[in-house]
Structure 1
């Protein structure tokens, strides 16, 4: 594989470059010849899955009330055609066994698919069959990416954290705000570093850094670094405010979007407990005014809570775990941080997943917990009897009562993706590979399901719908799957590896 330090991310010999170009031509030819039969929902008819040249109305990009410095909340409209076709592909065919690369962060605009790859951010034009070397832009950083946010502004800008160098012991102590359309670094700053636990100061003698996080809210890039939080304005990177504490509570993650919430981890100094025991940590969540850093309210989680994530900041929904694995409850909070409703996930009957990694702190990336229109939606666990099925269920945030239920039907699974206006977007994933997979819109008011487009994933990418290992993004009428890390295949396996795959309706407007 030709990217990632060391060596330099895009250094290739002329021979290697020509081999890559030849491989791309081969794959493009295969692409143009591939035709997949896809069943239409409820009709029994069949459609060809292939390239189309038609045009339709483009998705509504942003609600009218949003400004350029707000976090993007796009509304996806059903396309004119439900025939799915390839919108983008990024693949490699030269990774060796044992070769491995981290690929944190994936973002999309109407023109670009951007990805983090080790110490480099890259942007590819949509509508291409790409390999390393085909980038429209690339932005090299001083060290590997160590933090990211899923949020993007209406100007198509976002932020990442990165290490000071490629040294294995280098601190994660830099933030960069950059443009997704052209790869420009708008600004960057050093951020403070703290030791984890009750130790004060920076890590010493091989000590562990308190992992930082980054997020976006209106005109604000916020970074938690353990002993505090620092915020910058988006246009110039000017420091707006910073907070710090010297007590037992650390700022252990920020959630953005419509508001700014900071999760605090409070460490006990009880020496009878193991240093890494969850029993030493209790949690608080506070809402912060993004303009001033002033705390608006603080919510203290009950003792015994082992994990807290933030699926939504506006309205506030927390996902908490009081068991050994997985989230056990969702908490709906009001504008003052008071508990409105507690929604039990019934000992795993309902499943809510949030991104979890020891390398990246992203507390507001909860891909299967969708919040909108006064409700939260989660999926049930898979039911495996004669066939495989599940359902998605909504809960009222004011009362905690269940609302609409969407059944997957036999041999399919429904997976929430995100809300879009007054609809819930979901994947209808085929389990028998006879019926197609689809992106659908679910209406919480009527229970109606509207197909956006049908598609089939190539055999090499069938595991892309697993959110444990992949990012899923719906933006501007397109659905993208992207790996979070890439590992070279075993010697007896095919060398062709997908990194990102994009699907769109054949009538999606080309930019």
Structure 2
């Protein structure tokens, strides 16, 4: 099993008392850095002066970047050249950010009118780096060649992102390892199972008039008071034989916060803070849906026994409000199923699961499989990489070889598994993750294991916009799974991305940047404040709920960000200061799994336990906060 992230570091020297404790937070209604107040034209950032030079010149590099304070989960120092100014990109095509003119922190410049990545339009004079334009001789991206086909097209950055291989927050550095292992397993499976086929349940369809429930995107509720209190802490179980153990899965309803543990699922009464129930399971939870239905149902894949060698072959559906396991079935063709490459999700009262060697879907109400697949796709064939849920059931499908994959993103008919909508991911992309199923937004990696771009796709199955993440200027929180991006939120108008942590006026900080979903252009930003880091959590009506991580000596905060007011913030809840240490530990870990906010309450949780955990790190499975 994967190792847990390292314990938090000591607080940076010289921290001052938290400026947010004495007053409510409000985001600056001023135009975003890099945007002129009147015209929106590119300009200097608010907190940093751009290097001297004429517009369009490459900024001069200072001798040293600003010193970054330490702290758990803080990204490494930016490269020399000034924060927000991407360095000269290596020879690369897709995924390499265009060289910007002198501009503000964190804002990729808009390509010339009428052009953009993936659009076969007439290039402007002189081309445009990274947007599919014709280049000058010797430049990557020669006309007539697809992305990633020229020698030296891929960026040469080492895999793993700023957090190291496999660490949360930057696209899962162990993706290539998983791909290699998956390829080997698939090759073995191909010997014993020939062909890749889809089997549909004959004669069994959803009953006419059967209730359809969507999945919870989080339920609302403004806390009754801005002063928060600790509702509960769930102690972590002690490990015996294992050095590490996965405890994936956490859900919140209006009444219950439910968290997976080693031998089942614990339900906490969110109002009283007391344990309401516990569901015992046959073995460890191997995979869990991030979604639950509006009436509180979700699904998990469970190992058949508690042995470390047990197969992950049991599908189970539970009722979170009632604390009951509704049914459990052995998944077909799952004799070799392990957590490696396993994924599952829920949409439209259907749960779909994928593992190396097969996939299956069931109605949440029970019964036999609606559809299933088994075996290996074979050379040049296609197979599911994984599923994503929400309003639509999505699949990422890989065709061809692992070294040169051709990826498709599909909307599936949940009853049949057949695709009724398909987007061909541009060549040169190694992996794709579904950020949102409605509207369709995906995060992709090209030439590196880190996430390089976020793309929005229209109902016409065509690319609408591409948001280049530059040299790790933004942190979408993506790992290796198809539905693993934990720090991106989408509505009908914007894609909300947190910037990477960088030096502010006196300490490190970051912002949420709102990108127009149709054009990919940045529109406004909402600041975390000094010594804070802010991440988007989910939408509540027309407001964005965001979480400000705690400082060394002050608790975290929940704020509502108003898109109509250019990112102005309203403080919803301030967590108690004496919970800051535990909150810091869990807040760092939840780069893999997003915080949950439901009915005016905030829940933090972790997904990996370690026998070697020290201090309070790993001491708790989860913690809940609500209004006093």
**1:451 aligns to what?**
571
1:91 CA drift (Å) = 2.0
Distance 1:495 1:424 in 2: 30
3-state DSSP of counterpart to 1:354: coil
1:163 CA drift (Å) = 2.0
Matched, 1:487 2:610: yes
**1:326-405 equivalences in 2 (<5 Å):** 326-356=450-480, 361=481, 363-384=482-503, 386-405=506-525
**1:41 aligns to what?**
24
**2:251 aligns to what?**
107
Query: Contact 1:69–1:155 (CA<8 Å) still a contact in 2?
Result: yes
Return 155-164 or 397-406, whichever deviates more.
Answer: 397-406
**1:298 aligns to what?**
422
What's the TM-score, normalizing by structure 2? 0.61
1:160 CA drift (Å) = 0.4
- Note closer, same or farther for the CA distance 1:220–1:208 as it changes in structure 2 (3 Å cut): closer
1:354 CA drift (Å) = 2.4
Distance 2:415 2:612 in 1: 48
- Note closer, same or farther for the CA distance 1:490–1:213 as it changes in structure 2 (3 Å cut): closer
- Note closer, same or farther for the CA distance 1:252–1:90 as it changes in structure 2 (3 Å cut): same
Taking only aligned residues, the RMSD between alpha carbons, in angstroms, comes to 2.9
2:269 to 125, 140, 143: 125
Distance 1:263 1:104 in 2: 21
1:176 CA drift (Å) = 0.8
Distance 2:610 2:599 in 1: 30
Matched, 1:250 2:364: no
1:85 to 229, 235, 243: 229
Matched, 1:442 2:561: yes
Distance 1:390 1:72 in 2: 28
Query: Contact 2:286–2:338 (CA<8 Å) still a contact in 1?
Result: no
- Note closer, same or farther for the CA distance 1:474–1:355 as it changes in structure 2 (3 Å cut): farther
Distance 1:403 1:470 in 2: 27
- Note closer, same or farther for the CA distance 1:38–1:152 as it changes in structure 2 (3 Å cut): same
Return 455-464 or 369-378, whichever deviates more.
Answer: 455-464
- Note closer, same or farther for the CA distance 1:395–1:470 as it changes in structure 2 (3 Å cut): closer
Give 5+ residue unaligned stretches, structure 2. Answer: 1-19, 27-210
Return 181-190 or 255-264, whichever deviates more.
Answer: 181-190
- Note closer, same or farther for the CA distance 1:281–1:495 as it changes in structure 2 (3 Å cut): closer
3-state DSSP of counterpart to 2:429: coil
1:441 CA drift (Å) = 0.7
1:240 CA drift (Å) = 2.8
What's the TM-score, normalizing by structure 1? 0.74
**1:103-252 equivalences in 2 (<5 Å):** 103-127=247-271, 135-193=275-333, 211-242=341-372, 246-247=377-378, 248-252=381-385
Distance 1:473 1:92 in 2: 19
Give 5+ residue unaligned stretches, structure 1. Answer: 1-36, 44-66, 195-201, 269-277, 507-511
Query: Contact 2:219–2:254 (CA<8 Å) still a contact in 1?
Result: no
- Note closer, same or farther for the CA distance 1:98–1:500 as it changes in structure 2 (3 Å cut): same
Matched, 1:263 2:403: no
Matched, 1:475 2:598: yes
Distance 1:378 1:425 in 2: 13
1:407 to 527, 543, 551: 527
1:442 CA drift (Å) = 0.5
Distance 2:338 2:268 in 1: 36
Distance 1:151 1:173 in 2: 20
Looking at CA atoms only, which structure, 1 or 2, has the larger radius of gyration? 2
3-state DSSP of counterpart to 1:279: coil
- Note closer, same or farther for the CA distance 1:210–1:412 as it changes in structure 2 (3 Å cut): closer
Query: Contact 1:373–1:422 (CA<8 Å) still a contact in 2?
Result: no
Distance 1:208 1:367 in 2: 23
3-state DSSP of counterpart to 2:403: helix
- Note closer, same or farther for the CA distance 1:340–1:113 as it changes in structure 2 (3 Å cut): same
**1:498 aligns to what?**
620
**1:463 aligns to what?**
585
Return 235-244 or 103-112, whichever deviates more.
Answer: 235-244
3-state DSSP of counterpart to 1:239: coil
Q: How many residues align?
A: 417
Distance 1:481 1:236 in 2: 31
